[in-house]
Amino acid sequence: MRSDLIKCGTARAPHRSLLRATGVAEEDFGKPFIAVCNSYTDVIPGHVHLHKVGEIVKEAIRKAGGVPIEFNTIGICDGIAMGHSGMKYSLPSRELIADSVETMVTAHRFDAMICLTNCDKIIPGMLMASIRCNIPTLFASGGPMEAGVLKDGTKVDLISSFVAAAAEQQEGNTPEHSLQEVEQSACPSCGSCSGMFTANSMNCLCEALGMAFPTNGTLLATSELRRELFEKAGERIVEMALLQDKREKGEDVGQKLLPREIITTEAVDNAMVLDMAMGGSTNTVLHSLAIANEAGLDYNVKRMNDLSEKTPNICKVSPSCHYHVEDVHNSGGIHTILGEVERGCKGLLNLDCPTITGKTLGENIKEWDIRCDTATPEAKRFAAASSSRKCGTQAMSNPPAAATIDELKLDFDPQDCVRDVANAYSQQGGLAILFGNIAPLGAVVKSAGVLPQMMKHSGPAVIFESETDAYEGIVSGQVQKGDVVVIRYEGPKGGPGMQEMLAPTTAIKGVGLDDSVALITDGRFSGGTAGACIGHISPEAAAGGPIGLLREGDIVEIDIPSQSLNVKLSDEELAGRKASWQAPEPRIKTGWLARYTALATSADTGAVLGLPKGEG
């Protein structure tokens, strides 16, 4: 075993002395050492219960014959970091997490790893690290939050709170529900925020990527069935470690167990097909590019666009619709979405891709697609897990409302929540990559969340040099119907850190301009963003990209169906402006963000860190 390097032989007596001090017993030295990479923290709703999850997983590992060794990573709550300088640290934290996990696993020679995660940046950071370490690894998320419910039965979530806060500042506005009621109801339980925001998008993508068990992305954090899922994960990771040991001794075990064997070009394609089908967060584009980069794959935004052209958008979830992740789960979850894609678009998915279950993606779909005759009783039992509809429900405490999904009474039509291809919202995917003279290397939009009348839009640029200035400008009336809000110098280098623009985008909706105003930026968006909001513009302004050359009143032309983003200026005019452009001084010159600014690459390559010039 890999861990023999720290526990076997006379020369390793000092190592064993130290391990004994941590509680490792004599009989443990012949067992696989399993890293339990936790991301528990008291400040993120999606992670507050992960210390309990860690204990369940560790006990399952012990029972299966392994030695669990837990360590933690950092984690940032994007919602709490939103709207102030803290958001500059959010995307950069992905790199710190990847580096720290790589450091712990490599330094201590663990045999396998289970990653307990839930929220944005933490999931991709751990995925990137798993590829670097390339030991048997599986992911187990803490699960999504329940949707909030107001007194009149209206469902709400975190985005409802952002919109209500912006509307409260609009003079003369009379909201349907009080800000206080929305605030107190929006986040009723632990778990990752209840819409198809970035955290839930990434947890769902882990299923399609092959790195997590079915239901990982949709089974509520409050469901008592999550305990079973965690126990199964603990048992399976020990099995994977022992199988890998046999492989290293020359035995054919008939399974692919390593991240670099699972996360292939075809597997990333599967994840992106899912993303397009369910209209996930635009951040998944950024993170998927970074993950592919770690795996050494030649993967780019053009490939994503090609997949979007072939993939129907069959599911919409908040913020693009009134449905929430709990509804997706009761409609069959991720493998039912994949099943509908396979039935309607034969050959689009790569069904032979291996997964951590020991089965192929196609075999997992047959067992977990509840609309398929081959769905297992376990799949139908898990699909019945539902919301408690109460504030304060604890993790893993809520029993299913029925024995199977066939017996569960739903207050919505699951065939509408997850549609078949013939009744898709559109025959193209829910995300699109735009190109043009503003975005030569691409820009990303969640087309599933764009109103029909805003799919094409032309208007004068109203320019802001920061996210906070834009928010103030929008709520104070500086932006008018027909305008295009431009927020620049918020990219990976310029921000630095590529801040999420949830405050300005929800402000546009809050002041009633979402049907007439578009927003473009070299920054990025929360998964909670909806509307004609185009981000990840590359090259960014700080790198001399054309978005930095725009001037107040320039006419910006957006055509999402044609995948184009342009400013109505001649090439000669843009070249003249570029000749007089000067790179601004870095906004931060000390500490971690100064180093990040120096090393960060463009959004079209995943905003990964590169080596300093002259190296590598």
The set of catalytic residues is: 526
Q: What is the DSSP letter of 481?
A: T
Q: Among 263, 159, 156, 144, which residue's Cα sits nearest to residue 204? A: 144
Instruction: Give 113's strand partners.
Output: 35, 137
Q: State whether residue 457 is helix, strand or coil.
A: strand
Q: Rounded to whole angstroms, how far apart are CA atoms 50 and 186?
A: 21
The two structure tokens encoding residue 182: 């929305």
Q: Rounded to whole angstroms, how far apart are CA atoms 272 and 263?
A: 12
Q: Rounded to whole angstroms, how far apart are CA atoms 288 and 299?
A: 9
Q: Rounded to whole angstroms, how far apart are CA atoms 606 and 25?
A: 44
First to last CA, the chain: 32
3-state secondary structure 569-595: CCHHHHHHHHHHCCCCCCCCCCHHHHH
Rg (CA), the chain: 24
361-366 contacts at long range (C-beta below 8 A, 24 or more positions apart): 361/208, 361/210, 361/267, 361/270, 364/214, 364/335, 365/335, 365/338, 365/339
Q: Where are the extended beta strands (E) located within 99-202?
A: 112-117, 137-141, 148-149, 155-156
Q: State whether residue 67 is helix, strand or coil.
A: strand
User: Which H or E run includes 36?
Assistant: strand 33-38
Q: Rounded to whole angstroms, how far apart are CA atoms 204 and 201?
A: 5
Tell me the Ramachandran region of residue 400: left when phi exceeds 0, alpha when psi lies from -120 to 50, beta otherwise: beta
Give Cα separations from 319 to 132, 185, 457, 606 (angstroms).
34, 17, 21, 24
Residues 6 or more apart whose Cβ sits within 8 Å of residue 540 = 488, 489, 490, 491, 492, 493, 494, 522, 547, 548, 602, 603
The answer to whether the beta carbons of residues 143 and 221 sit under 8 Å apart is yes
* Exposure string for 395-424, b = 16+ CB within 10 A, e = fewer: bbebebebebbeebeeeeebeebbbebeeb
Q: Rounded to whole angstroms, how far apart are CA atoms 308 and 313?
A: 9
The two structure tokens encoding residue 233: 């994960």
Q: What is the DSSP letter of 145?
A: P
Report DSSP letters for 346-408, one per residue. Answer: TTSS-TT-B-TTSSBHHHHHHHH-TTSTT--HHHHHHHT-----STTPPTT-BPPSSSSGGG-
Instruction: Give 144's strand partners.
Output: 192
Q: State whether residue 255 is helix, strand or coil.
A: coil
